[in-house]
């Protein structure tokens, strides 16, 4: 599976897509990047006088690159594939400001019984660790998604 195919299979629309590029992917590791554009809506109200990227969005970038892209690669990304985040343990060390580019590396811990767990690290352009942790998610088809 090519990097272009993986990017095309990501299940997100433009307003919630946090992957600009994938630089590398194999069965064990993925690396990709995203730039937080200054005009993003989150900066309008997340600290009015000193906008910083919310941790939940940093976690989402880590999940999309370090978990979902890896899941698409490992499964071949069949049509209708979805991903449900099941657990997160993320530590934040540095803020990410508007306009900053981050690079995420995910390393597979395990993939079995439809569950993928990865060790994920985000670094800034200065090579400093922004955040790191472990993320896990279930890879499911559309027939398994229910409204409660």
Active site residue 89: no
> What is d(CA 19, CA 69) in angstroms, rounded to the nearest whole number?
9
> What is d(CA 121, CA 47) in angstroms, rounded to the nearest whole number?
25
Q: How distant is the alpha carbon of residue 97 from its chain centre?
A: 18
Tell me how far apart the terminal alpha carbons of the chain are, to the nearest angstrom.
Answer: 35
The two beta strands, 21-25 and 115-124, are: unpaired
Q: What SS3 string covers 9-44? A: HCCCCHHHCCCCEEEEECCCEEEEEEECCCCCHHHH
DSSP β-bridge partners for residue 118:
108, 135
| Active-site residue, from 29, 46, 115, 119 | 46
- Catalytic site residues? 46
């Amino acid at each position: 599976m090519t990097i272009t195919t993986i990017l095309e299979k990501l299940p997100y629309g433009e307003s919630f897509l946090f992957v600009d590029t994938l630089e590398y992917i194999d069965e064990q590791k993925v690396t990709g990047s995203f730039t937080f554009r200054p005009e993003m809506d989150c900066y309008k109200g997340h600290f009015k006088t000193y906008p910083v990227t919310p941790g939940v969005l940093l976690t989402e970038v880590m999940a999309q690159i370090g978990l979902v892209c890896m899941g698409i690669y490992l499964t071949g990304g069949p049509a209708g594939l979805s991903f449900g985040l099941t657990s997160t343990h993320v530590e934040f060390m540095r803020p990410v400001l508007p306009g900053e580019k981050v690079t995420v590396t995910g390393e597979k811990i395990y993939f079995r019984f439809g569950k993928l767990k990865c060790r994920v690290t985000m670094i800034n352009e200065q090579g400093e660790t922004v955040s790191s942790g472990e993320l896990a998610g279930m890879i499911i088809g559309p027939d398994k998604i229910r409204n409660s």
